[in-house]
Structure 1
């Protein structure tokens, strides 16, 4: 099934990674590296990460496809704040506090996307527009001197770019690295895709253990032997960076040698691109669909991981439905839940025991060392 493309060609960076794959490149680090086990298990470390990473950096909220139409909204609590993600009548995205300015009542109670031409408080019916402005309140005579302009919902910085929605707690967050991702996302047609499935996994592991699994290819032939391993050559991978975000590619080198690497449709069938959106989200681009995984740390040993699958268009037949359901089951239930997330939970159990003081990384796992070095730099800076 063809994927709608906003570009008929890969970006120069995407093509460059494919060239390196075709040459049989193994992205190897220079020797062994070690990381302290406490990076994953220390409560104080977790608190600092929440303050200095998740409290300051732009964070992925959702694909644009979560809110496909104007005047829609959804509650979003996974980052530890009660938020509303909404679209106004012009389709512009907003991120608001899900807290009424009157008495602090939660405004949107239910899960899922709801109509939001107006957002009405269930307690006293104060009414807000999708951009957070206070539109009306009952018995305004009971609030002498109240200026509605001063009682809008708290707004957070938001950026919609390349089919993705981002927000930040900090008013001075720098979104330039988010904007730099847009050409690659547009090449995948991300903003035109349809949200097929969405599921949240509760994983008993530190959030970084889950991200780690998508930054190295060493485990693919072993952990994924029963699912996706047959599709890929062992260790043949290439990676680079777009600002703090990692762009990686794996593929079948024998097939790559036969395709026109300027033909985006051929290349999409030969290469799986994976993006790590620093610090906590992963985008995996399969030939005809996309999975977006966002890790929401809940405590040092517990992470909610939302998996969203995006497809070209809503299924139009039973055959199409079976095709997409099979793909969803393969990755969400098989590869991710039963393999990647299970492995992360087992790792956390072992590290939390205190029986080893550090973890050892081989040359095919240098992406992990780079990730943790970037975390250190972000915590210091």
Structure 2
């Protein structure tokens, strides 16, 4: 296949179903990726923590008594027991392992070992919690388990200014973390997020809200989808009510007060940026054909009737979008797994889909192969 022809098609079907390729993605793409874990308001007091299980990596952030937030592996250094269970919580001044009661302070230092005299050549200072990479932008915290990969400042560049405009640092969670499992490969969920042409076909409500204002743009490592709220005929009751009640948010410039902006970041994170709130969606790969969608909304506190109504209606509109997307992406996974599928063309309008496929080919050149590679080829790719 020529380079030009390759650019016009998606990835081969086996790249969405193969366990060896999934393992390669885990090692080469996700091990050194930045993953969102929480917002500053979620861990506001000393001892407050947030945890994340990302592809088997147990991670946590905790605020120390000095007010500093630190990131660690959520694993005891003694016998590898998971330390903290809840997505969010608060310790006292110590983190105590529920297996053998090894005890750590909030700065990660090992401070207590029952029956310490039974260990030979043992020094507590050598067994503090394992630190992880940590970055903060706009009040959101991101963690990284592996070495290498993108510097945090480079990763955050596409959304740093947006968070300043929307005053995200002042936001608080509107609810709890939502976890939705989908029977799809993570790339299908990702590609659907940046797929423009399915909007008027699969999403009557969202399409009725933004019409043909849905525009794609590539900004470095980020995909930007910009749209505006329009007064269009035949809008659903939720859409009409959202347009009616959405107040003019004082801190936003005029052009942002009726804009819905979507930011998709490499490899598996997206921010939905609305005038009334910011949502994040994290596509967590579980298996070649299973993905966990981790979602939550944040907003500047506002108890006005108009804003409360707008936020409720935003939720109703997006609840329908999520259900519609579940149907189409699971249809696609079923088709890819059915055997002998040859990738179809990607429209020139789908600049983000084309770019994502090319990025995957650059990161993992083995997925240029139209047929499933051999075990030896996968091993060679792993060693590269």
TM range (shorter): 0.7 to 0.9
In the alignment, what sits opposite 2:93?
117
Q: Out of 282, 288, 293, which is 2:281 matched to?
A: 293
Q: Out of 208, 221, 224, which is 1:247 matched to?
A: 224
Q: What's the CA shift for 1:279? A: 0.3
SS in 1 for 2:106: coil
- Check whether the contact 1:73–1:130 (CA below 8 A) recurs between aligned residues: no
TM-score where L is the length of structure 1? 0.81
Structural mapping, 1:174-323, within 5 Å? 174-180=151-157, 181-197=159-175, 198-225=177-204, 227-234=205-212, 236-241=214-219, 243-252=220-229, 264-313=252-301, 316=303, 323=310
Q: What's the CA shift for 1:161? A: 1.8
Q: What's the CA shift for 1:44? A: 2.2
SS in 1 for 2:23: helix
- Check whether the contact 2:209–2:229 (CA below 8 A) recurs between aligned residues: yes
Q: What's the CA shift for 1:318? A: 8.0
SS in 2 for 1:182: helix
In the alignment, what sits opposite 2:339?
354
- Check whether the contact 2:227–2:260 (CA below 8 A) recurs between aligned residues: yes
In the alignment, what sits opposite 1:61?
37
RMSD of aligned alpha carbons = 2.9
Structural mapping, 1:8-47, within 5 Å? 33-35=8-10, 36-47=12-23
Q: Distance in 2 between matches of 1:376 and 1:89?
A: 46
Structural mapping, 1:70-219, within 5 Å? 70-115=46-91, 117-143=93-119, 145-173=121-149, 174-180=151-157, 181-197=159-175, 198-219=177-198
- Check whether the contact 2:93–2:105 (CA below 8 A) recurs between aligned residues: yes
- Check whether the contact 1:157–1:167 (CA below 8 A) recurs between aligned residues: yes
Structure 1's 351 and 132: CA in aligned 2 closer, same or farther, altered over 3 A?
same
Q: Distance in 2 between matches of 1:367 and 1:335?
A: 20
Q: Distance in 1 between matches of 2:59 and 2:202?
A: 37
Q: Distance in 1 between matches of 2:7 and 2:147?
A: 40
- Check whether the contact 1:86–1:94 (CA below 8 A) recurs between aligned residues: yes
The worse-fitting range, judged by mean Cα deviation, of 284-293 and 353-362 is 353-362
The worse-fitting range, judged by mean Cα deviation, of 175-184 and 279-288 is 175-184
SS in 2 for 1:373: helix
Gap runs ≥5 in structure 2: 233-250, 366-383
Q: Out of 327, 342, 360, which is 2:314 matched to?
A: 327
Q: What's the CA shift for 1:303? A: 0.2
Write out per-residue CA displacement over residues 94-131 of structure 1, whole angstroms, 9 at most, x where no aligned residue: 22222211222221133433335311111222111233
Q: What's the CA shift for 1:325? A: 3.5
Q: Distance in 1 between matches of 2:155 and 2:334?
A: 34
SS in 2 for 1:362: coil
Write out per-residue CA displacement over residues 168-187 of structure 1, whole angstroms, 9 at most, x where no aligned residue: 22233322322423222222
Q: Distance in 2 between matches of 1:32 and 1:149?
A: 53
Q: Distance in 2 between matches of 1:379 and 1:167?
A: 23
- Check whether the contact 1:218–1:235 (CA below 8 A) recurs between aligned residues: no
TM-score where L is the length of structure 2? 0.80
Q: What's the CA shift for 1:49? A: 0.9
Report the count of equivalent residues: 342
SS in 1 for 2:350: helix
SS in 2 for 1:298: strand
Q: Distance in 2 between matches of 1:319 and 1:364?
A: 37
User: Relative contact order (C-alpha < 8 Å, sep 6+): which is higher?
Assistant: 1
Gap runs ≥5 in structure 1: 1-29, 256-262
In the alignment, what sits opposite 1:14?
none
